[in-house]
Every structure is written in C-alpha cells, then in structure tokens.
C-alpha cells in the first residue's frame, strides 16, 4: 500500500474507533494515547488477578460488571485472560496506574492496590461510555498512564442539619469512588442534632439526635457505632478514608441540649451554642467522646471544628466561669480562650497518637504543624490561607466560592445559598486552581474538598440537585492538572455521565437543559 492510501486507511480506522469521543473518563487521565483497533467486551470476558493482594479487586470488578450487565464474568487463572490485574512498578505518586487496552487483552497495573482500583474505575467508565451491552461492547485500544494531582480529594456531608442515612451515604460513596474521590469528611454534630452514638453518653443521640434544621421535633435520627463501622468498611473497600467531625467549642447546641452541664458562653442569638471552656469537667467529657470516636474511625484524624466561635458577653462569661478562666490562665480576650480550649482538646487527641483537623479560624491557635490539618473555607479571607501555607500546615482547600455545594449552580435558582449574588456553577468548580489564589508556596496543600452544608437540603432530591454534576467537576479539579483541563471536552463527558445519573434515578441538575428551582 502506498503512503497516501495507508494514511487514508488509518484515518478511516481512526474515525471508526473514535466511537467514544470524548473518552468517558472523568477525571481525565494524565496521559492518553488512543491506538487503532478495538477490544470486544462480551460474556466470554474473563478476569485474572495476578497477585493474591488483588483478589479483592478482581471481585470488586466482577461485582461491578454484574451490576451493570447482569452477567457473572468468570475469574480465570490464565495469563491470557481478557482482563489482567497486576501489581508492578516502583511506588511513585500514590494512586497512579496504567491501563492498556489492545484487541486481545486489557491490562491494569499499578504499584499499589489503590492504583489498580483507580484503573478499574477508568475501565468501568470506558465500558459505560461505550453504550448498551446487547451482545457486547467495543472499546478502543489505548494506553493510559495516570496519576492524581492531589492526594486529598474530598467531599464533606453535613448530616446534623438534615439526616440522610446509610443508604444515601453508601450511594454517595459509590459515586465518589467512580470519580476517584478518596476522603469523606462526615460532619456529624452541630446545632440541630448530634448523629454519632457515644456509648458513655447515650443522651447525645437519644436527645441530641432529635430534630432537623427544618423540624426541631423530628424523632431522633443517628448512626449507631455498628452503622458507623459498616459505612467505614464500605468506604474502605472503595479506598475512601472517613474523617469524623466533632465540632467544638461552637456548633454544640444539640450536645448541650442532651448534657446541659457542659454548656456555657454562647451568644445572644445562640445561647447554647458553645461547650463551656470555663469548666474543667468539660475537657474530660469531650476527651471521653474523642476517645470513643478515635476507636471507631481508623483514619486516626479527627476534625475538631473550631469555626464561628463566640463566647458571648461579659455577663455570660462571668456566669459560666470564662472570666475566671481568663484570669487564672492570663488569657487576654475571648479569642485567647478559644485557642486555649482548642489546644487542650487537640492535646487530648495527640495523647492518643492521633491527628487533628480544624477550620481556618484556628490557623493561629499554635497547634503543632506536624499533627494538624487546616481547612481553608473562607474565600473572602485569603490571609488565613496564606498563614496556613506560611506556617507549613498541611492544608485542604474548600473555599465557599467555588467549593460549597450548598450554593446554587445557576443564577435562576431560588433555593440554596448565594454570596453577594455569586454562586458555584459547574465550570467554576472545574476551573478551580490554587495558583490563582496565592503567591505563597503551595507545597503543603493536600488537596481539595467540596462541602455540602445542609440547612437548605431537606431531602434526597435537593441533595442530588446540588451534588450532581458538580461532583464530577470537583473530581476533575482535584485530579487533573489545570493545563490538561478542557471545557469543551469536559462538558461532552458530562453529557455522557448525565445518562448514568438518569439510569440511577438521581434528581441531578442538568446544565444543558436548565430548570429553575
């Protein structure tokens, strides 16, 4: 064949093979080379895990395929199996993997089991993007080399304001896994309700679990410790670490309803808002709660809150012992009290060899850099981020704009929050890049997180409407380097994913066919 004919032939082949344009994989991989030829995935497809450590992955893949297509794709012990999973290569960036597809075989390889899991997610997305199964599917030959931009790719769910329960949380974890998100920050305590069972203090959930933001009389809803273990195991099987938050000293209203002996300070509008830093027994009480929490959550990282604290006026301070504490400890003002409190509570976690996370208010509380993670949320206070970075704190970025998912996705939306008329549309999430925020070294940035506060999220429908498709954009911003992001390609991908949301029965927001709610 002469050169010209050859080029035309390859070009045509290429066209045929670009049936999947763009590749359905979100977040988009670091390197993709599409080749000629296709792999046919059908009922005869078999799966081989080369290493014992990958048995769990072989099974996860087969279970996922069963759910999608209704067939048991057999496992095999033959190196010529259609899909081979293997551990190989030197450890590099955590979560890295390679996915190679040629007409006769698919190989997913990585130095870690987590990497193989990520490769499986990419393969599953490619298969889903290839359409209806009928008698089989064709996916293009290609070679992917992929690794994440950030190690912390998180999502926070507030279940105090409204409670969603195990089934919804598991569904969320499934979507997070599909998008290679790997940290679930669980905000379980706040003003309306306390949702985490603590055996030593049962009233925390029996009384503190009553109510929601919209209905203070709703019967108690909470997670038993067995429920928590179930969710943690479900998350762990998907390489998602669960980080509990016990918010203190503020946002403590529900706990204080259950155990009024530890309330004190507060403010005019929120009298029972804070745990009482002026009483010595408050510290032992909270340390006991943290003991049980640390035993439950293997992540060994507890978020202690520290946001929006206010210890009220002088009279309340005198009544609750805060004035006496100030004198005793030489604390100049309420801010100093806040820091004193936080240091003591953090010390109780360090005493168990644990680590703490705190909101950015605590950046100058003097917590040790080695064992503390700062969560920067106040987009209008860049100085808090700069301080965190200057001091070398491991920092998670979750600025309200654009990473709060209780903010609406479209200007026409009536429910949900806005900030001076601003909101968080799909592409603003997708474009998130720390480089635009600060000139400081961002070496200690762990990654990104979106937060779903649920004052305005009364039910699963609103949950879906705020989370999808922005969860996909969050994953892209946390995984794919800014230079490799491409709006047009991403939006085309989202169109494919929207079909999956429909099949799953989600009440997602469709940016291509906007509705007003």
Q: Which residues bind ligand TNX (CB under 6 A)?
A: 307-308, 359, 377, 404, 406, 417, 453, 455
Smallest distance, ligand TNX to C-beta of residue 319, A: 26
Smallest distance, ligand TNX to C-beta of residue 214, A: 14
Closer CB to ligand TNX, 283 or 404, in the complex: 404
Return d(Cα 441, Cα 463) in angstroms, integer: 35
State CA 342 to chain mean position distance: 25
Return d(Cα 47, Cα 76) in angstroms, integer: 6
- Start-to-end C-alpha separation, the chain: 60
Smallest distance, ligand TNX to C-beta of residue 160, A: 9
Closer CB to ligand TNX, 119 or 416, in the complex: 416
Q: What share of the chain is helix, strand, coil (3-state, %, to 5)?
A: 40, 20, 40
Q: Are 485 and 478 in contact (CB under 8 A)?
A: no
For 68, half-sphere exposure in the C-beta direction (CA atoms, 13 angstrom radius) is: 25
Give the list of residues 6+ apart from residue 266 with CB closer than 8 angstroms, or none. 272, 273, 274, 310, 311, 312, 316
Closer CB to ligand TNX, 215 or 308, in the complex: 308
Q: Any alpha helices (H) in 100-148, and if so which ranges?
A: 113-129
Closer CB to ligand TNX, 146 or 406, in the complex: 406
Closer CB to ligand TNX, 54 or 309, in the complex: 309
Closer CB to ligand TNX, 308 or 370, in the complex: 308
Smallest distance, ligand TNX to C-beta of residue 439, A: 25
Q: Are 55 and 161 in contact (CB under 8 A)?
A: no
> What does 145-169 look like in DSSP terms, one character per residue?
EE--S-SEEEEEEE-SSS---HHHH
Give the list of residues 6+ apart from residue 75 with CB closer than 8 angstroms, or none. 46, 47, 48, 49, 58, 59, 62
Closer CB to ligand TNX, 29 or 305, in the complex: 305
Query: And the tokens for 273?
Result: 């808002």
Closer CB to ligand TNX, 259 or 377, in the complex: 377
Closer CB to ligand TNX, 109 or 245, in the complex: 245
Query: And the tokens for 429?
Result: 């999430």
Collapse the DSSP code of 87 into the 3-class scheme (helix H, G, I; strand E, B; otherwise coil) and give the result: strand
Collapse the DSSP code of 414 into the 3-class scheme (helix H, G, I; strand E, B; otherwise coil) and give the result: coil
Smallest distance, ligand TNX to C-beta of residue 190, A: 6
| Helix or strand (DSSP H, E) at 138 | strand 137-146
Tell which phi-psi region holds residue 416, choosing left (phi > 0), alpha (psi between -120 and 50) or beta: left
Closer CB to ligand TNX, 155 or 404, in the complex: 404
Q: Are 428 and 377 in contact (CB under 8 A)?
A: no
């Amino acid at each position: 064949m002469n050169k010209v004919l050859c080029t035309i032939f390859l070009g045509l082949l290429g066209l045929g093979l670009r049936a999947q344009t763009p590749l359905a994989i979100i977040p988009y991989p670091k390197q993709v080379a599409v080749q000629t030829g296709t792999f046919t995935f059908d009922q005869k497809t078999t799966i081989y895990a080369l290493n014992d450590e990958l048995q769990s992955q072989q099974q996860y893949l087969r279970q996922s395929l069963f759910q999608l297509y209704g067939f048991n794709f057999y496992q095999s012990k033959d190196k010529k199996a259609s899909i081979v999973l293997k551990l190989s290569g030197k450890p590099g960036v955590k979560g890295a993997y390679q996915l190679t597809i040629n007409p006769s075989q698919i190989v997913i390889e990585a130095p870690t089991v987590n990497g193989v899991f990520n490769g499986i997610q990419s393969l599953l997305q490619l298969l889903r993007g290839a359409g209806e199964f009928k008698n089989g599917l064709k996916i293009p030959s290609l070679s992917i080399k992929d690794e994440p931009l950030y190690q912390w790719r998180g999502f926070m769910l507030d279940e105090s304001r409204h409670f969603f329960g195990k089934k919804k949380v598991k569904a969320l974890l499934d979507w997070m896994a599909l998008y290679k998100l790997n940290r679930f920050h669980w905000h379980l305590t706040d003003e309306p309700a306390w949702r985490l069972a603590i055996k030593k203090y049962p009233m925390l959930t029996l009384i503190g679990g009553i109510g929601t933001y919209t209905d203070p009389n709703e019967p108690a809803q909470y997670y038993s410790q067995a429920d928590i273990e179930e969710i943690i195991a479900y998350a762990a099987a998907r390489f998602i670490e669960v980080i509990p938050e016990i918010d203190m000293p503020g946002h403590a209203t529900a706990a204080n309803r259950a155990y009024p002996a530890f309330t004190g300070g507060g403010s005019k509008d929120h009298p029972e808002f804070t745990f009482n830093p002026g009483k010595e027994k408050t510290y032992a009480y909270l340390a006991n709660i943290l003991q049980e929490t640390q035993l439950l959550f293997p992540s060994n990282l507890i978020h202690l809150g520290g946001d929006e604290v206010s210890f009220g006026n002088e009279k309340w301070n005198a009544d609750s012992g805060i004035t006496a504490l100030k004198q005793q400890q030489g604390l100049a003002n309420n801010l100093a009290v806040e820091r004193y409190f936080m240091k003591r509570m953090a010390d109780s976690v360090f005493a168990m060899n644990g680590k703490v996370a705190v909101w950015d208010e605590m950046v100058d509380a003097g917590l040790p850099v080695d064992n503390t993670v700062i969560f920067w949320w106040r987009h209008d206070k860049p100085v808090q981020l700069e301080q965190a970075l200057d001091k070398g704190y491991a920092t998670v970025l979750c600025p309200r704009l654009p990473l709060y998912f209780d903010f609406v996705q479209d200007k026409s939306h009536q429910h949900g929050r806005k900030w001076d008329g601003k909101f968080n549309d799909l592409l603003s999430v997708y474009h998130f890049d720390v480089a635009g925020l600060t000139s400081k070294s961002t070496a200690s940035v762990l990654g990104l997180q979106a937060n779903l506060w649920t004052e305005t999220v009364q039910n699963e429908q609103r949950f879906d409407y705020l989370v999808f498709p922005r969860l996909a954009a969050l994953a892209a911003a946390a995984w794919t380097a800014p230079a490799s992001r491409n709006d047009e390609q991403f939006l085309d991908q989202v169109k494919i994913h929207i079909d999956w949301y429909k099949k799953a029965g989600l009440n997602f927001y469709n940016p291509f066919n906007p509705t007003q709610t």
